[in-house]
């Protein structure tokens, strides 16, 4: 892999980000709105039930952490979609860009923007509610990494579908991660889900992260099996999604990149 | 020395055969015209040559190396410009050229960007987004992009479409200069036959996915053996009656009569007009051109696989 080619695609999406109000609002506006609505809601509940202050941290932490997979997935998927909209796949693949360099760039763009969005959301949470997500301490790092991986494989899975069926299925870019949200135990434990939903939740690496997060807040300890199961599932799904994306790209080459939109 | 060799290249989309078993070579420093009517298979072939479309069968070799095995190494040394794709519309011209320059191995990137901006006269457009440019300006930016990496082989799909005549002329001169100075080999498609005659050393004519002919523009034009004589006669009826009697093919538009003859018949024909006192005020003799060949070949008038 050549770093300058990875940088080229990174640069292309950063230039696009700077010039797109849609993308800027996705990065900053929606996390802020979520924090205001859910933060105020949890504030209200805390005021009704004293001695439940940690609920506030769990909810705000959930909101902020959810920004990570959402942004990571969104950046991968929408950046693939942008290439389809702009008919730019031909331009980048008549250059010596490798598929592996392309997906590395997409991951790095997703990582950079997820970190920017999370830092912004963390700042907003601190300013509005005096909630500090760094209270998670050292556990923050594995949680961040696992949620990033979750966003990446969902992103590549959707990108594989987009590459196969084109922009007529583009709505998946905005909806798929959110479809996983009810099963990811962001604000509530997996145990309160119906049995069938618990099965889905157990298959999602994100549910282990949020379960683990609540354990850290309420019990000041972490069952590391949450981390290992989540890591195993993420590696498995990430491998499958990249293989699927690669296959869809090969199929697209058989139809011609110039005609994909 | 051949820089590009295409062997038995075929592309099928389901049952439809878009490109049918074509083979040809491009020599170092050669400008090869790739002509054919719409849907003939030109763009499909070019897409396969730059790796953006997988062939059904066949081999593509650049500099003696297979495109499928040495893709990155080869694509770093060639480039492609087409009117059928555009650069990202909401990025400025400078942003587009900058990010694309990083896709290639260019030793002094900043210097090269400066050169390209100057050559293609893009100084005033640098801050404009591609989406705000006219069709001609977009074509210029696309072409500028294709010269960024000092390509040894350049594939240009209708590069001068939508350019103003003066810019098109400037570009043709630039292409000829690049060939002379750096021995750049160019595969060139165009619907402008005069342009092809002017700059191409050789022309491949493709129709229905197959190569119909492969020769110099002059030799292809010679395959049309009928010359057109356009006359402004004093008495058009007298002339057309004469043509009918002598079984000469003719067409008439207002006061002009155009007669189709083989070149060697012209002196005798003109002598006969004089003998029959058929007078005319104007005469022009139009030798066959590549365009005549194109028109005839597009209608399936030739089938001479070379």
In a domain, B294, yes or no: no
Q: Is A201 in contact with A233 (CB distance < 8 Å)?
A: no
Cβ within 8 Å, pair B87-A8: no
Residues of B with CB below 8 A from A87's CB? 85-86
Instruction: Indicate the number of domains in chain A.
Output: 1
Under the banding of pLDDT at 50, 70 and 90, the label for residue B45 is: very high
How many domains are contained in chain B?
2
Q: Which chain A residues have a beta carbon less than 8 Å from that of B79?
A: 94
Q: Which of residues 113-142 of B touch A (CB under 8 A)?
A: 129
Q: Strand B210-215 relative to strand B202-207: parallel, antiparallel, unpaired?
A: antiparallel
- For residue range B173-225, list pLDDT tens digits in order: 888 888 888 889 999 888 888 888 888 999 998 888 999 889 888 887 777 77
Name which of A96, A104, A250 to mutate to probe chain B: the one with the most chain B Cβ atoms within 10 A of its Cβ.
Answer: A96
d(CA B177, CA B148): 16
Smallest CA–CA distance from B13 into chain A, residue: A255
Q: Please, are residues B284 and B215 in contact by the beta-carbon 8 Å criterion?
A: no
CATH code for the domain in which residue B64 is found: 3.40.50.300
Which of B216, B243, B263 is the C-terminal boundary of a domain? B216
Q: Tell which of B162, B194, B216 closes a domain.
A: B216
CB contact under 8 A, B105 and A2: yes
Provide the pLDDT for residue B10.
96
Q: How many CB atoms lie within 10 A of CB B255?
A: 12
Give the closest residue to A117 by CA, choosing from A133, A105, A104, A101: A133
Mean pLDDT of the A197-207 span: 95
User: Largest Cα–Cα distance in chain A?
Assistant: 63
B-chain residues near A254 (CB < 8 A): 53-54
Q: Do the Cβ atoms of B79 and A94 come within 8 Å?
A: yes
Tell me the average pLDDT of chain B. 89
pLDDT digits (tens, 9 = 90+) for A81-93: 999 988 899 999 9
Torsion angles phi and psi, residue A215, rounded to 5: -60, -40
Q: Do B100 and A253 touch (CB under 8 A)?
A: no
Burial class (CB in 10 A: 0-12, 13-18, 19+), A50: exposed
CB contact under 8 A, A92 and B103: yes
**CB contacts, 8 Å: A92 with chain B:** 103
* Structure confidence at residue B306 (pLDDT): 36
Q: What is the C-alpha R_g of chain A?
A: 19
Q: In whole angstroms, give the CA distance from residue A161 to residue A31.
A: 27
In order of A128, A147, A220, A243, B30, the CA distances from A136 in angstroms are 19, 15, 9, 34, 67
User: Rounded to an integer, what distance in angstroms lies between the CA atom of residue B206 and that of residue B43?
Assistant: 11
In-domain check, residue B271:
yes
**Which CATH number belongs to the domain containing residue B268 in this structure?**
3.30.70
Model confidence at B161: pLDDT above 80: no
State what percent of residues in chain B have pLDDT above 70: 98
| Residue A102 CB contacts under 8 Å (≥ 6 apart), including other chains | A9, A92
Please, which residues have CB within 8 angstroms of residue A103's CB and are 6 or more apart in sequence?
A156, A242, A245
Please give, rounded to a whole number of angstroms, the shortest distance from the CA of A20 to a CA of chain B.
Answer: 8
Q: Which residues on A lie below 8 Å from B54 (Cβ)?
A: 250, 253-254
CA-based nearest residue to A66, from A153, A155, A171, A185: A185
Q: Which residues of A touch B44 (CB under 8 A)?
A: 256
- How many A/B residue pairs have CB atoms within 8 Å? 97
* Better-scored residue on pLDDT, A130 or A15: A15
Q: Which residue of A has its CA nearest to B103?
A: A5
My answer on whether B282 and B166 are in the same domain is: no
Read off the pLDDT band of B239 (50, 70, 90): very high
Indicate if B185 and B238 belong to the same structural domain.
no
* Percent residues over pLDDT 70 in chain A: 98
Note whether A19 contacts B100, CB cutoff 8 Å. Answer: no
d(CA B41, CA B209): 5
- Between chains, do B54 and A87 touch, taking CB under 8 Å as contact? no
Does residue B241 share a domain with residue B161? Answer: no
Cα gap A15→B61, rounded to integer Å: 36
Q: What is the CA radius of gyration of chain B?
A: 24
The verdict on B269 touching A (C-beta cutoff 8 Å) is: no
Q: Which of A53-57, A63-67, B98-102 has the lowest mean pLDDT?
A: A53-57
Contact (CB, 8 A) for A155 and A108 = no
Residue-level pLDDT at B305? 44
CB-based contact, B42 to chain A, within 8 Å: no
Residue range(s) defining the domain that contains residue A249: 3-259
Partner A contacted by B225 (CB < 8 A):
no
Identify whether the C-beta of residue A167 lies closer than 8 Å to the C-beta of residue A89: no
Q: What is the torsional sign of CA B285, B289, B295, B296?
A: positive
A39 — pLDDT class (breaks 50, 70, 90): confident
Taking any CB pair shorter than 8 Å as contact, residues of chain A touching chain B are 2, 4-5, 7-9, 11-12, 15-16, 19-20, 82, 86-98, 250, 253-258
Query: Nearest-CA residue of chain A relative to B94?
Result: A15
B122 and B173 share one domain: yes
List CB contacts (< 8 A) between A93 and chain B: 51-52
B280 in a structural domain: yes
Tell me the C-alpha to C-alpha distance, in Å, between residue B154 and each of B29, B60, B116, B189, B282: 10, 15, 15, 11, 45
Q: What is the DSSP string of B178-189?
A: HHHHH--EEEEE
CA distances (Å), origin A10, targets A230, A244, B17, B91, B201: 28, 23, 38, 14, 41
How much is the ipTM here? 0.84
Compute the nearest-CA separation of B74 from chain A (Å). 8
Q: Do B14 and B129 belong to one domain?
A: yes
**In sequence order, what are the residues at sequence separation of 6 or more whose Cβ sits closer than 8 angstroms to the Cβ of residue B301?**
none
Smallest CA–CA separation between B78 and chain A, in Å?
8
B129 lies in the same domain as B187: yes
**What mean pLDDT do residues A103-121 have?**
89
Tokens matching residue B77: 């040394």
Q: What angle do CA A101, B129, A120 make, to 5 degrees?
A: 60
pLDDT at residue number B302: 58
> Could you give the CA distance from residue B259 to residue A212 in angstroms, rounded to a whole number?
92
Over residues A141-168, mean pLDDT: 92
Q: Which helix (H) or strand (E) holds B142?
A: helix B135-147
- β-strand partners of A72: none
Strand pairing report for B153-157 and B78-82: parallel
| Chain A residues whose beta carbon lies within 8 Å of the beta carbon of residue B80 | 90, 94
At residue A204, the 3 state secondary structure works out as coil
Residue in chain B nearest A254 by alpha carbon: B54
CA distance A52 to chain B (A): 49
Query: What is the predicted pLDDT for the residue at A250?
Result: 95
How many residues can be counted in chain B? Answer: 306
Residue B16 near chain A (CB below 8 Å): no
Q: What is the mean pLDDT of residues B160-169?
A: 80
Tell me which residues of chain B, numbers 133 to 192, contact chain A at a CB-CB cutoff of 8 Å. Answer: 145
Q: Which helix (H) or strand (E) holds A118?
A: helix A99-129
CA end-to-end distance (rounded Å), chain A: 27
Residue A244 corresponds to which tokens in the numbers above? 């699927």
Strands B57-62 and B256-262: unpaired
CA distances from A176 to A50, A96, A115, A173 (A): 37, 32, 21, 6
Closest approach of B294 to chain A, Cα-based (Å): 26
Residues of B in contact with A12 (CB under 8 A): 88, 91, 99
B100 CB-side CA count, 13 A: 33
| In the predicted structure, residue B301 carries a pLDDT above the cut 70 | no
What's the rounded mean pLDDT across residues A225-250? 96
Distance from the Cα of A105 to chain B's closest Cα (Å) equals: 12
Find the domain containing B177 and state its range: 2-216
Residue B303 pLDDT: 53
Contact A253/B47, CB-based, under 8 Å? no
Residue B167, pLDDT > 60, answer yes
The average confidence (pLDDT) of chain A is 88
Choose the weakest-confidence range: B19-28, B72-81, B210-219: B210-219
Q: Chain A within 8 Å of B45 (Cβ-Cβ)?
A: no
- At B281, the pLDDT band (50, 70, 90 cuts) reads very high
Q: What number is the average pLDDT over the span B277-282? A: 92
Sheet strands (E) in chain B: 2-13, 16-27, 31-35, 57-62, 65-66, 78-82, 153-157, 185-189, 202-207, 210-215, 226-233, 249-253, 256-262, 280-286
- For residues B159 and B251, membership in a common domain is answered with no
Look at residues B173, B196, B216 and tell me which one is the last residue of a structural domain. B216
């Amino acid at each position: 892999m050549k770093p300058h080619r990875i940088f080229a695609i990174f640069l292309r999406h950063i230039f696009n980000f700077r010039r797109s109000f849609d993308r800027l609002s996705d990065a900053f506006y929606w996390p802020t709105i979520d924090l205001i609505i859910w933060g105020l809601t949890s504030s209200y509940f805390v005021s009704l039930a004293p001695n439940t202050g940690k609920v506030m941290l769990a909810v705000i932490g959930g909101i902020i952490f959810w920004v990570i997979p959402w942004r990571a997935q969104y950046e991968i998927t929408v950046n693939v979609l942008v290439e389809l909209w702009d008919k730019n796949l031909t331009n980048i693949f008549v250059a010596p860009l490798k598929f592996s360099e392309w997906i590395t760039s997409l991951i790095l763009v997703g990582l950079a923007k997820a970190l920017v969005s999370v830092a912004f959301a963390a700042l907003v949470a601190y300013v509005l509610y005096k909630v500090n997500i760094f209270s998670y301490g050292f556990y923050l790092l594995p949680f961040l990494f696992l949620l990033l991986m979750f966003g990446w494989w969902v992103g590549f899975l959707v990108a594989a579908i987009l590459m196969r069926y084109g922009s007529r299925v583009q709505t998946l870019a905005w909806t798929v991660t959110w479809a996983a949200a009810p099963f990811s135990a962001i604000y509530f434990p997996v145990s309160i889900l119906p049995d069938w939903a618990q099965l889905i939740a157990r298959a999602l690496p994100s549910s282990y992260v949020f379960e683990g997060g609540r354990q850290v807040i309420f019990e000041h300890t972490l069952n590391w099996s949450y981390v290992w199961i989540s890591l195993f599932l993420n590696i498995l799904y990430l491998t499958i999604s990249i293989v699927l994306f690669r296959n869809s790209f090969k199929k697209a080459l058989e139809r011609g990149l110039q005609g994909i939109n | 020395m051949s820089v590009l060799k295409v062997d038995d290249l075929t592309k099928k989309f389901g049952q439809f055969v878009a490109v049918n078993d074509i083979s040809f070579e491009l020599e170092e420093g050669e400008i090869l015209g790739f002509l054919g009517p719409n849907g003939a298979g030109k763009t499909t072939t070019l897409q396969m040559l730059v790796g953006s479309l997988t062939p059904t069968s066949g081999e593509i070799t650049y500099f003696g190396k297979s495109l499928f095995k040495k893709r990155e190494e080869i694509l770093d040394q060639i480039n492609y410009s087409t009117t059928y794709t555009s650069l990202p519309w909401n990025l400025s011209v400078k942003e587009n050229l900058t990010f694309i320059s990083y896709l290639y191995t260019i030793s002094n990137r900043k210097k090269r960007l400066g050169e390209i901006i100057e050559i293609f006269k893009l100084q005033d457009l640098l801050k404009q987004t591609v989406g705000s440019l006219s069709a001609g300006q977009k074509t210029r930016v696309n072409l500028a992009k294709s010269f960024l990496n000092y390509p040894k082989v350049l594939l240009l799909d209708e590069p001068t479409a939508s350019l103003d005549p003066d810019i098109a002329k400037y570009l043709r001169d630039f292409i000829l200069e690049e060939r002379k100075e750096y021995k750049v080999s160019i595969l060139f498609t165009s619907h402008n036959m005069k342009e092809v005659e002017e700059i191409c050393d050789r022309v491949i004519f493709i129709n229905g996915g197959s190569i119909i002919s492969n020769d110099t523009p002059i030799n292809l034009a010679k395959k049309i053996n009928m010359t057109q004589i356009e006359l402004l006669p004093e008495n058009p009826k007298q002339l057309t009656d004469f043509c009918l009697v002598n079984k000469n093919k003719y067409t008439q538009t207002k006061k002009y009569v155009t007669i189709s003859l083989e070149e060697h018949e012209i002196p005798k024909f003109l002598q006969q007009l004089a003998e029959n006192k058929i007078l005319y005020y104007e005469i022009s003799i139009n030798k066959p051109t590549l365009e005549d060949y194109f028109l005839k070949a597009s209608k399936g008038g030739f089938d001479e696989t070379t």
